[in-house]
A and B are shown apart, each in its own frame.
Chain A
Amino acid sequence: MTQSPQAPSGADLPRLPVTLSVNGETHELTIDPRVTLLDTLREHLHLTGTKKGCDHGQCGACTVLLDGQRVLSCLTLAVMHDGQSVTTVEGLGTPDHLHPLQDAFVRHDGYQCGYCTPGQLCSSVGTLDEIARGVPSHVTADLDAVRFSAEELRERLSGNICRCAAYPNIIAAVTEVHAAGDGA
Chain B
Amino acid sequence: MRAFAYTRADTPRAAAQAAEATGTKFIAGGTNLLDLMKLDIEQPSRLVDVSRLNLRDVTDTPDGGLHVGALVTNTDLANHPRVKSDYAVLTRAIVAGASGQIRNKATTGGNLLQRARCPYFYDTNLPCNKRDPGTGCAALRGLSRTLAVIGTSDACIAQHPSDMAVALRVLDATVNTLKPDGTARTLTLDEFYRLPEDTPHLETTLEPGELITGVTLPPPVGGTHLYRKVRDRASYAFALVSVAAIVDGDRVRVAFGGVAPRPWRVPDAEDAYARARADGRADALIDRAFEGARPTEENAFKVPLLRRTLKAVLAQAGQEAQA
Contact = CB atoms under 8 A, between A and B. Distances in A.
Contact of A7 (B3, B29, B98): B3
Interface string A111-136: 00000000000010011001001111
B239 to A, nearest CB: 12
Interface stretch (A22-30, A89-97, A153-161, A172-180): A153-161
A41 interface: no
B47 interface: yes
A60 B95 CA distance: 17
A7 B35 CA distance: 19
Interface size class of B (residues with CB under 8 A): 35 or more
Interface size class of A (residues with CB under 8 A): 35 or more
B17 A159 contact: no
Interface string B27-39: 1011100110011
A130 B100 contact: yes
Contacts of A144: 84-85
Of B2, B4, B101, most buried by chain A (CB within 10 Å of CB) is: B101
A60 to B, nearest CB: 6
Nearest to B33: A75
A1 B5 CA distance: 15
Contacts of A2: 21
B105 A76 contact: yes
Interface string A61-83: 00100100111100111011000
A4 B3 CA distance: 13
Interface in B42-95: 43, 45-47, 49, 51, 75, 78-79, 84-85, 88, 91-92, 95
Contacts of B47: 33
Contacts of A103: none
Contact of A34 (B4, B45, B105, B234): B4
B236 interface: yes
B248 interface: no
B235 A135 contact: no
A79 B30 contact: no
A158 B95 CA distance: 12
A85 interface: no
Nearest to A79: B6
Interface of A: 1-10, 13, 16, 33-34, 36, 55-57, 60, 63, 66, 69-72, 75-77, 79-80, 123, 126-127, 130, 133-138, 140, 143-144, 154-156, 158-160
Give 10 closest A-B pairs by Cβ, nearest first: A159-B99, A3-B21, A33-B6, A158-B235, A7-B45, A5-B22, A143-B84, A158-B236, A69-B104, A34-B1
Interface of B: 1-6, 17-18, 20-24, 27, 29-31, 34-35, 38-39, 43, 45-47, 49, 51, 75, 78-79, 84-85, 88, 91-92, 95-96, 98-102, 104-105, 234-236
Given A135-B79, A144-B85, 16 more contacts: A1-B17, A2-B21, A5-B23, A6-B45, A13-B5, A33-B4, A56-B35, A77-B6, A79-B6, A80-B27, A123-B100, A130-B100, A135-B78, A136-B78, A154-B235, A156-B100
